C-alpha cells in the first residue's frame, strides 16, 4: 500500500483506522482500476486514429492525451493496494 494513503495520519491509531477504511473499499478500488484501464485504452485508440494526424494542433493533442494517460496511470498506481512506494 502506498504511503500517500497515510498522509495526515498523525499516530499509529490513525494509520490503522485509515488502513482499515481503505482495505474495506478494496473491491470498489478494483472496479475503479478496471474503469480507468478502459479509459486509457479509449484514449490510446483515439490518439492513434488517422484523422488525428491531420489536426493543425496535432502536437498539442498528443501532449494532452499523454498527460491524461499519465494522470490515470498515477491514480491506478495509488489505488493498487498491492503496490509499494
Give the model confidence (pLDDT) of 18-66 as tens digits: 999 999 999 999 999 999 999 999 999 999 999 999 999 999 999 999 9
Per residue in 7-17, pLDDT (tens digit) is 999 999 999 99
Residues 42, 65 contacting (CB under 8 angstroms) = no
pLDDT for position 83: 78
Nearest-Å Rg of the Cα atoms of the chain is: 17
Residues 55, 61 contacting (CB under 8 angstroms) = yes
Residues 83, 3 contacting (CB under 8 angstroms) = no
In terms of phi and psi (left: phi > 0; alpha: psi -120 to 50; beta: otherwise), the region of 8 is left
Q: How far is CA 8 from the centre of its chain?
A: 21
pLDDT for position 40: 98
Torsion of CA 81, 4, 44, 58, to 10 degrees: 180
> Distance (Å, rounded) from C-alpha 21 to C-alpha 37?
24
pLDDT for position 68: 98
**Residue 84 pLDDT class (50, 70, 90 cuts):** confident
Q: What global pTM score does this model have?
A: 0.86
Amino acid at each position: 500500500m502506498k504511503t500517500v494513503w497515510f498522509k495526515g495520519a498523525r499516530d499509529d491509531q490513525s494509520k490503522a483506522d485509515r488502513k482499515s477504511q481503505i482495505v474495506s473499499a478494496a473491491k470498489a478500488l478494483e472496479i475503479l482500476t478496471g474503469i480507468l484501464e478502459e479509459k486509457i485504452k479509449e484514449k490510446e485508440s483515439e490518439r492513434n486514429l488517422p484523422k488525428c494526424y491531420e489536426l493543425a494542433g496535432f502536437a498539442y493533442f498528443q501532449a494532452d492525451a499523454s498527460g491524461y494517460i499519465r494522470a490515470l496511470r498515477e491514480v491506478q498506481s495509488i489505488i493498487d493496494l498491492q503496490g509499494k512506494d
